[in-house]
Structure 1
């Protein structure tokens, strides 16, 4: 911790000196300010313009006893325009110093925006490193639908320990690290977590080292080599029981389960390798080098989340379908991420359809039977059939508070079944596999998908799009 404190002091001093002595970087301004938001249809202030992040290197110290987080974020990015200043998204927390390319930078805060003014303008195409030292007690973020994300403290009850979990869909990751928090800007990650001895600290990707620092702390270093949208990043701290293994095809498995949840979690997590292998057969090779799950105490969250390589479950998953859903997101949503939050159905409709396929392949109702049950309101076949699945078109939710409502999930899955009806199984499953293979580690929009589906299948699917994907009326 001493080295970080020195870094903060040095950066703060440099920033203060520049603020006092520097008026501008030269006689001619070469850049212009980057946009403070990307004008996402539902979260217009999310993300920032003028640059694309290539890598995040996060070094975080967390004290579960009092909730204090001390962090250093080193963000490597490429300027997509000449920049006189740029923004990072950060909610709460105190910024203690900022450097750009090793030189102190002026900065200011306004709401969730951290505006950084480098000592020298950045040229278009330039790769630059920004270091932000920050600290404080991170908080939860309340979404438009009333659910909470961001940094959530946990209570491990009988274990007598507090913990925490960072979850970020859609914008909560800004509660625990500064960044370009929009799904269209994916990057690789190194996340280092230092916690008191006796705690486990779990994140995305592969655990590259676990080090006793000699001062009553343990440092966990996690590396994500494949690009990741920031909403899929996680950090979980608790007295987890950790188990490891491999799937039959050799994918590393790392599960972390909170005390008291082990017995209830065991049956579902035991099937996780099987589900990954099944997904590989249906959707193409598993897109990451590792998989697993994080189970936090029940009632910590009101949902499960598909955090990359290691989904978070609030309490033991109650059924195989939930594990199938979150793992299916590793292909649909994580490997191929939405260009904007309006494209949410490309995540949730596909993951819901994966549940139907798992049922079809394991002796339950077929995807067609799920489809028919929804049309008929038959809750005996599908318990969700009584929901208002047709309230709005899945490609056009009325507002951000509807992004997690049933039309995005169920009617989104029905769009896929309608394609299957139109083109037949051979072309349909080639489409599911090809979509991931041809867009892996990138972003895609609804328009990208509709064009791809028609090209891949060789069929005009306009009626499917007009009625099921975009139509306002209830399809029949």
Structure 2
């Protein structure tokens, strides 16, 4: 069984063909009678064999188009007498359709005496259609090539033409009911397709009310950010729904409705709403007869679109997804809610459901940067994980697929699902097999890359008083990376090795991760080749007027710097610093995952960075550029080396080891943020480190209520405020790692992180894997800490009370701390400042609180707790 994904979380099933021939309806009997005679009294072969195998395929298609049974069957040689009858029955059933089309992909070569040719059979019986994937076996006989076998490998059911019947139904009092979602139709008319298709579309016009209340607390908060409440209640006047016809009785109560005499008045409004939204989901983007065609939703899946005062929203139920329930704003690309029923935290690996594992890319791309032109060919070595008839690749919709071929099966059929950046590829003769194969994808188009995933995205504000009144021209560059699918790849980031060849205009350079094999300029073009021998999660290339700025060795890592002209000196100066940071990280986390690292410095209006496998890209803002930058959770101006340290840490955290889904972004960003903070402590001392913790804590406390760390990149998404994401995932996440380090100890913490790098190199992990590594290293149970700090939003609050009195050798101060929202015992620093200095003591604070005494030689002046910022907490004095 193959799952196609026309909408995120809305699969369509392409099932294996039935083992027995389908029964033939009465309407086909006339056609069958004429063809049956050909089976019982076959005529002499009509030039049955062909010296030219391609001519044989041409004749097959021509006979199919003409519905010429004699001509088609004459091309066959049958091993069994009954085989001719079976083939006649097969073509009879297909030709009984209103329209039937056979398209055979030509094999790359006929080097052997037997060749398999993939084909598609498209059959139409309005309003339905079906695509079958078949494989013909061709064999060379002494008198030429003949057909000896046909195997049906899969069929895609559920292609439909959508329309609304003229008659509507009274919907007064009916309810559309889905998990956590109800739409009450107070008064109005419900339109459905003609009975020949069934109720796969429901269009309501009238008066209705939507009630939606997500279960998880984190999702309630996301909804509150969208509409101001934890429940969505909206009056609506129309809704467009897609379901599988078999689900009508499950989602609509009551499902039996009476004809509505008001249909005529409501029909035009229903048709308008239908036309506005019918192309939003399940639309097949393929050159098929009578296009466009829509796909039938899977059983149990629902998509409901309705206009509100906050814009048009869509609620979807997608049974095959780990998080089946979603509410989103399609027009503004806002994912408001996404979760599993029941409110439990979902733990899953995005690779678990994949049907293909990409092992190697042999990629060749010619770029025209001025027009964003891309002409590419990627030879992908794949491992088919499970038996399937179709696989899904990602490729940006702006890039047109020219051909898909394999040595094993020749040309492959493929189609695209609109708005999904996906390509569905028929495996043809390889259907149902597992193991390795090689797929060659040729593609081209105009594709402008999105800006790289900046680690810092401060907003340029109005010019400051000291800013010069002139702008400077920036040296433009392009970075093709993981923000768009600029080359064919799996459905999720997939570790693979790569050989890369890039062709750019003379005067420009292409820089990628991995070892530079060659670079030469000829005939007005520069051609470079890279080899990435270590598995990389994705491929990246930077294009521009880049020049090599220098080389260094950092232990076993070979460093090379590239930069635009104005930054060449700066790039060279950063090499020694980069080498020192890499050596420090190797001591903390183990060997660098990649033996070659290319550092690229580009110019940009805002500073930022990106750290693909074996490569670090830094966007540098020229100091003479007008405007100023606002403060940001990821910006530490007092530690200028922090930023590059963060980016370099991603070679371990994000590339060497990666998060298993979007919830686990903190395993990349928080770990890199904390690694950079450790570098600052190593290079600048404890005071700089504590200052950094204080700054991180300020941002984390400001935005802590916006959602848990585990919400990942959805944090700040609804309000379009990336600072929320960085404050929680970067800063709070880093602070959580620091607190865990205080709990388990330095040695256990370092050992756990090195074990994660050693045991999961070039693999994906989850928060549970981090917890397990820390528990193994320390012998502690950390479940409560992860539940509160990673999956929750509450921040500990400490209430401080103290009293002092003279003692035998000075003064004794009694310190009492009451805690709330503490998941377990935590280390706490208590300090008493006195006339002779400061006395500091580290104690264990239990969830219920505690009392301690500190003796000082001088009179106490001030009592503090958590002054070194070891705990992310709010402190209040009684």
- Which bracket does the TM-score occupy, shorter chain normalised? 0.7 to 0.9
Aligned to 1:120: 429
Deviation per CA, 1:158-183, whole angstroms, max 9, x where unpaired?
69x75421121xxx241x11111523
Q: Does 1:322 align with 2:630?
A: no
- Between the aligned partners of 2:607 and 2:546, the Cα distance in structure 1 is 20
Q: Does 1:275 align with 2:581?
A: yes
The answer (yes or no) to whether the contact 2:377–2:440 under 8 Å persists in 1 is yes
Counterparts in 2 of 1:101-250, with a 5 A limit?
Answer: 101=407, 103-110=410-417, 111=419, 112-141=421-450, 163-168=477-482, 172-174=483-485, 176-183=486-493, 185-212=494-521, 214-230=522-538, 233-250=539-556
Of 26, 38, 54 in structure 1, the residue corresponding to residue 359 of structure 2 is 54
Of 708, 728, 735 in structure 2, the residue corresponding to residue 393 of structure 1 is 708
The answer (yes or no) to whether the contact 2:664–2:766 under 8 Å persists in 1 is yes
Change (3 A) 1:101 1:76: same
- Between the aligned partners of 1:82 and 1:211, the Cα distance in structure 2 is 44
Aligned to 1:343: 664
Q: Does 1:82 align with 2:82?
A: no
Change (3 A) 1:266 1:106: same
Give the TM-score taking structure 1 as reference length.
0.82
The answer (yes or no) to whether the contact 2:384–2:433 under 8 Å persists in 1 is yes
> Which stretch shifts more, 302-311 or 71-80?
302-311
The answer (yes or no) to whether the contact 1:390–1:411 under 8 Å persists in 2 is no
Deviation at 1:397, TM superposition (A): 3.9
The answer (yes or no) to whether the contact 1:245–1:253 under 8 Å persists in 2 is yes
Change (3 A) 1:223 1:417: same
Q: Does 1:63 align with 2:63?
A: no
Deviation per CA, 1:300-320, whole angstroms, max 9, x where unpaired?
x76311111111111269821
Change (3 A) 1:376 1:235: closer
- Number of aligned residue pairs: 438
Give the TM-score taking structure 2 as reference length.
0.46
The answer (yes or no) to whether the contact 2:495–2:536 under 8 Å persists in 1 is yes
Change (3 A) 1:457 1:371: farther
Change (3 A) 1:89 1:275: same
Deviation at 1:101, TM superposition (A): 3.0
Structure with higher strand content: 2
- Between the aligned partners of 1:19 and 1:474, the Cα distance in structure 2 is 61
- Between the aligned partners of 1:211 and 1:30, the Cα distance in structure 2 is 47
The answer (yes or no) to whether the contact 1:304–1:312 under 8 Å persists in 2 is yes
The answer (yes or no) to whether the contact 1:258–1:297 under 8 Å persists in 2 is yes
Deviation per CA, 1:101-158, whole angstroms, max 9, x where unpaired?
350011112231111113313344321111111111112358999x99xxxxxxxx86
Deviation per CA, 1:47-92, whole angstroms, max 9, x where unpaired?
8831111111110011223321110011111111112111111111
3-state SS in 1 of match to 2:415: strand
Deviation per CA, 1:200-237, whole angstroms, max 9, x where unpaired?
1111111112234x42222111111111112xx21111
Aligned to 1:4: none
Larger Rg: 2
Aligned to 1:449: 770
- Between the aligned partners of 1:263 and 1:387, the Cα distance in structure 2 is 39
Change (3 A) 1:15 1:410: farther
Aligned to 1:440: 761
> Which stretch shifts more, 308-317 or 456-465?
308-317
Deviation at 1:462, TM superposition (A): 2.3
- Between the aligned partners of 2:536 and 2:372, the Cα distance in structure 1 is 26
The answer (yes or no) to whether the contact 2:453–2:610 under 8 Å persists in 1 is no
What is the CA RMSD across the aligned residues, in angstroms?
3.6
3-state SS in 2 of match to 1:286: coil
Deviation per CA, 1:301-344, whole angstroms, max 9, x where unpaired?
76311111111111269821111001011111100111111110
Of 377, 389, 412 in structure 1, the residue corresponding to residue 733 of structure 2 is 412
Where do 5+ consecutive residues of structure 2 fail to align? 1-103, 109-116, 123-131, 136-149, 157-297, 299-317, 324-334, 340-349, 458-471, 623-636, 797-872, 874-878
- Between the aligned partners of 1:265 and 1:181, the Cα distance in structure 2 is 36
The answer (yes or no) to whether the contact 1:346–1:446 under 8 Å persists in 2 is yes
Change (3 A) 1:398 1:291: closer
- Between the aligned partners of 2:484 and 2:320, the Cα distance in structure 1 is 16
Deviation at 1:375, TM superposition (A): 8.1
- Between the aligned partners of 1:79 and 1:339, the Cα distance in structure 2 is 20
3-state SS in 2 of match to 1:395: helix
The answer (yes or no) to whether the contact 2:650–2:672 under 8 Å persists in 1 is yes
Deviation at 1:463, TM superposition (A): 3.0
Structure with higher helix content: 1
Where do 5+ consecutive residues of structure 1 fail to align? 1-11, 149-156, 378-383
The answer (yes or no) to whether the contact 1:293–1:311 under 8 Å persists in 2 is yes
- Between the aligned partners of 2:155 and 2:387, the Cα distance in structure 1 is 6
- Between the aligned partners of 1:451 and 1:245, the Cα distance in structure 2 is 40
3-state SS in 1 of match to 2:675: helix
